[in-house]
Structure 1
Amino acid sequence: MQRQYRLAKDSDAEELLALTWRAYEPVRKLGINFAAAHADLELVLNNIRKNACYVMKEDGRIIATISLRMPWGQQPGPYGVPHIWWFAVDPDTGKKGVGSELLQWVEQTVLRDTLKVPFVSLGTADKHPWLIDMYERKGYVRAGERDLGKGHITIYMKKELRTDI
């Protein structure tokens, strides 16, 4: 059971859309307005083409995805560093640490070791019952908040990746 990581391609869009809809079902039930929770094929393709959209594959199928919005892109994060968004794990994989493994790979291999960024940011909804706690357990700290007009307060979080710069 070898897992592979790579950037998503246009040909992955339909599979990514199906995974995203399954993964974000609880978010839709909570009434939280995350863009990915209501994605359509056009939004998935835009994400693949405009951001660094990574996939984790196992046994030939995509089991998780995470995207980075870049500071120079259309939707930069608030701190001038890559910003994590659109993080989804296929709920059919069960609680096997798949999401943690992908997040750690992106943090260490892509962000810290390849892009050499000092820290990374992400945003989540204040109304989500467990995401803030989950990210805090993974080393993220609250860095700010903002009302983006989505019906919740966005809590911005940062994680330090390098102390040598």
Structure 2
Amino acid sequence: MSERVRLAELRDAEVLLDVIYRAYALIRELGLHWPAANADLALIQDNIATNDCYVLEKDGAILATITLSKGDEVKAFTELPFIKWFAVNPDSSGQGYGGKLLDWVEEHVIHGQLGAPAVTLATAHKHPWLVPMYERRGYARIHEIETQNGDGIMYLMRKTLEYKQTNTQRG
């Protein structure tokens, strides 16, 4: 059983659309206006083409995805790298694949390649488990943003990175 992390390609867009749409079901139920939650194929393709969209696959099946943004979503608050569109295939949730992918991107890309001392992400106060999950993973709230779009308070979170070895290889 072979696991690897790689950059997504446009040929992955339909699979990523399915994974992200199903993974973001609770986001839609909560009424959050996150672009990924209601993405169509064109938006997924744009995300792949515009940003660094990583996937973790096992035996050729995409199990998780995360995007390192090349945009300026948080430039008003920080120059640190910003990750978004983190999703795990619901058929594989609870098996640690999301954590493996997040660890790999933090360690090998953000810290290892970019040399960044920390990484940021944003999540909603009203989501029932994302804030505590990221806090357990070492993220801390650094800024509160009132979205004015019905999402309520969004937290910009930061994690200081320390390099540690993982077994998942990039292909």
Q: How does 1:53-68 map to 2 (within 5 A)?
A: 53-68=53-68
Q: How does 1:14-163 map to 2 (within 5 A)?
A: 14-70=14-70, 73=71, 75-77=73-75, 78-151=77-150, 152-161=152-161
Give, in whole Å, the separation in 1 of the partners of 2:113 and 2:149.
33
Give, in whole Å, the separation in 1 of the partners of 2:92 and 2:67.
19
Question: What do the CA deviations read for 1:49-99 (whole angstroms, capped 9, x no partner)?
Answer: 1111001111211110000113xx354553112101000000101311111
Q: CA RMSD in A?
A: 1.5
Please tell me the residue identity of whatever aligns with 1:10: L
State the percentage of identical aligned residues.
47
Q: Is the 8 A contact 1:122 1:157 kept in 2?
A: yes
1:105 alignment partner, SS class? helix
Give, in whole Å, the separation in 2 of the partners of 1:159 and 1:46.
27
Q: Is the 8 A contact 1:7 1:54 kept in 2?
A: yes
When the two structures are superposed, what TM-score results if normalisation uses the length of structure 1?
A: 0.92
Cα distance change on mapping 1:94 and 1:69 into 2, 3 Å: closer
Q: Is the 8 A contact 2:107 2:162 kept in 1?
A: no
Please tell me the residue identity of whatever aligns with 2:153: I
2:149 alignment partner, SS class? coil
Please tell me the residue identity of whatever aligns with 1:31: G
Q: Is the 8 A contact 1:145 1:155 kept in 2?
A: yes
Q: Is the 8 A contact 1:141 1:159 kept in 2?
A: yes
Q: Which runs of 5+ in 1 are unaligned?
A: none
Q: Is the 8 A contact 1:69 1:76 kept in 2?
A: no
Q: Which runs of 5+ in 2 are unaligned?
A: 164-171
Point out which structure has higher relative CO (alpha carbons under 8 A, 6+ apart).
2
Q: Is the 8 A contact 1:3 1:56 kept in 2?
A: yes
Give, in whole Å, the separation in 1 of the partners of 2:61 and 2:121.
26
Aligned residues: 161
Give, in whole Å, the separation in 2 of the partners of 1:50 and 1:10.
11
| Larger displacement relative to structure 2 (119-128 or 143-152) | 143-152
1:15 alignment partner, SS class? helix
When the two structures are superposed, what TM-score results if normalisation uses the length of structure 2?
A: 0.89
Cα distance change on mapping 1:159 and 1:67 into 2, 3 Å: same
Q: Is the 8 A contact 1:117 1:162 kept in 2?
A: no
